[in-house]
Amino acid sequence: MAKFQKILVPLDGSANAMRGLDTAISIAKSSDAEITGYYVFHLPLAAGIKYTKAMKDDAQKKAVKAIGPAMQKCERAGAKFKYATGGGNTASQIINAAKKGNFDMIVIGARGIGGTKEAFLGSTSNAVMHKSKVPVLIVK
Cα angle at 38 between 34 and 43, to 5 degrees? 165
Q: How many independent structural domains does the chain possess?
A: 1
Do 109 and 17 contact (CB within 8 A), yes or no?
Answer: yes
Between CA 125 and CA 111 the distance in angstroms is 8
What range defines the domain where residue 46 resides? 6-111+129-139
The answer as to whether 122 is a domain residue is no
Whether residue 49 lies inside any domain: the answer is yes
Nearest to 9 by CA among 78, 76, 73: 73
Residue 25 lies in a domain: yes
**Is residue 123 over pLDDT 90?**
no
pLDDT at 38: 97
Cα–Cα distance, 6 to 23 (Å, whole number) = 14
Supply the pLDDT for residue 44: 66
Domain assignment present for residue 36? The answer is yes
| Nearest Cα residue to 77 out of 25, 24, 18, 137 | 25
CB atoms under 10 Å from CB of 32, counted, come to: 11
Q: Is the model's pLDDT at 81 over the cut of 60?
A: yes
Tell me if 116 is assigned to some domain.
no
Q: What pLDDT score was predicted for residue 11?
A: 96
Q: Which of 36-45, 65-74, 97-106 has the weakest average pLDDT?
A: 36-45
**Domain CATH for 48:** 3.40.50.620
Q: How many other C-beta atoms lie within 10 A of the C-beta of residue 21?
A: 28
- 120 located within any domain: no
